[in-house]
Amino acid sequence: MTDTHNNIHDIFDDIRPYDDHQFHEKISALVHEPGFEHAVRYIMPDVDYDDFVNKLVTVQTQMDFQVKIMGPFLEMLVAKTTHGLSMDGYENYNPENSHVFITNHRDIVLDASFLNLCFIRKKLPITQVAIGNNLLIFDWITDLVKLNRSFIVKRDTRVREALEAAKHLSAYIHHTVTDKNESVWIAQREGRAKDSNDLTQDAVIKMLALAGDGDAKENLLPLNIMPVAISYEFDPNDYLKVREFLLKRRDPQYKKSQRDDLFSMETGLLKQKGRIHFHLGKCINDDLKNSTLENRADVIRHVCETLDNSIHSGYRIFPCNYIAYDKVHGTNKYADCYTEADLESFRHYIASQLDKVDVENITPEEHEFMHHMMLVMYANPLKNQLAALENKN
């Protein structure tokens, strides 16, 4: 038994999280990294770093790390940077089963972290987390995420190696869910939808269907895929996204730098997000079993549509979403869903966020373009929810 366990670990060592027997050694090395110390002091300016280190090096296991370190840290972020974090849909979740949780993607760091915090609050099993290697800019960041139950998605492979990397990742996810009975979180797409028009990338579902001996449907069923809708009242990165829209409009070849990615992570972590809500949708297995589709491409497309409908239906819609929808569509259809104070507050919020865009020589027409894109970003969750609810009827 031990040999098999070790062999499997050897196979997945390049991507899997650190396990308990590696934990103490890795965390003891991490606390001496200057970059890690700098990040901790930046995020928690009042921290007694020596005291924090002493607490860290007493942690022996992944679960201890989640409950004693990450849980309190995330509760601090909730208190400082949100107006509350909530989750519903628990009736759709049987914690005795392990799942692949697939969510829309709002924040690089916090989507999976806040999902796990909701589980920690309810004393439910937490998930492993998929993270792209494009974010692992320093070795200490790789160590930190692997200590924090993250496994690596290789995104910089050459075309020839990409299929092998996808097969390897799929095999790891299947092994985690079916052999280790642990759940996994993965976003519905690579990168975030800049305009909040959340759609599942078929590449994600194709990757999940690679492992196993059956057809696409048979390979997906053991994963117990559960869609989860994430709603942020405000996206602290909204002005950075419209900045990117503007720069791409000026130069279609524009690409963000690693520094931009780091700043996005920092902004998402530390700035105000308003209310945040998670909704656990129903596991898609019944829908998948009842489907008569057999062609692989049709099955993949059907799974994407099922996930999208569930996620879109599960959004929590806030006053700012109703306001943005009415503004974008030139209507007063949802005027009874917000007050004059909501309207004034949102107007002020949009203006102050646009003021943060640090691009030279913005013309009035470009400013209007950014203003419109910001409204579209906040209107799209409601637009998609309306379409999803119409599909159900």
Q: What pLDDT is stored for residue 128 in this prediction?
A: 96
Q: Residue 144 in contact with residue 36, Cβ under 8 Å?
A: yes
247-300 residue pLDDT tens: 999 999 999 887 888 889 899 999 999 999 999 999 999 999 998 888 999 999
Domains of the chain: 2-234+274-313 (3.40.1130), 237-271+317-393 (no CATH)
| pLDDT band at residue 3 under the 50/70/90 scheme | very low
Q: Which residues touch 238 (CB under 8 Å, ≥6 apart)?
A: 353, 374, 377, 378
- Strands 100-103, 226-232: pairing kind: parallel
Q: Does residue 201 come out as left (phi exceeding 0), alpha (psi in the -120 to 50 range) or beta?
A: beta
Side chain identity at 354, as an amino acid letter? L
Summarize the confidence of residues 165-189 as an average pLDDT: 96
Mean pLDDT of the chain: 93
Q: What pLDDT is stored for residue 130 in this prediction?
A: 95
328-355 residue pLDDT tens: 999 999 999 999 999 999 999 999 999 9
> Could you tell me which of 375, 368, 230 has the C-alpha nearest to residue 312?
230
Distance CA 128, CA 181 (A): 11
Q: What pLDDT is stored for residue 393 in this prediction?
A: 66
Q: Residue 187 in contact with residue 108, Cβ under 8 Å?
A: no
Summarize the confidence of residues 112-127 as an average pLDDT: 95
44-54 residue pLDDT tens: 888 999 999 99
83-104 residue pLDDT tens: 999 999 999 999 999 999 999 9
Q: What pLDDT is stored for residue 4 in this prediction?
A: 45
> What percent of the chain is modeled with pLDDT above 70?
97
Please check the confidence at residue 8 and state whether its pLDDT lies above 80.
no
3-class DSSP state of 24: helix
Q: Residue 65 in contact with residue 23, Cβ under 8 Å?
A: yes
User: What does residue 239 show for φ and ψ, rounded to 5 degrees?
Assistant: -70, -30
pTM beyond 0.75, yes or no: yes
- The four Cα atoms 123, 125, 127, 128 give a dihedral, to 10 degrees, of 120
Q: What pLDDT is stored for residue 6 in this prediction?
A: 56
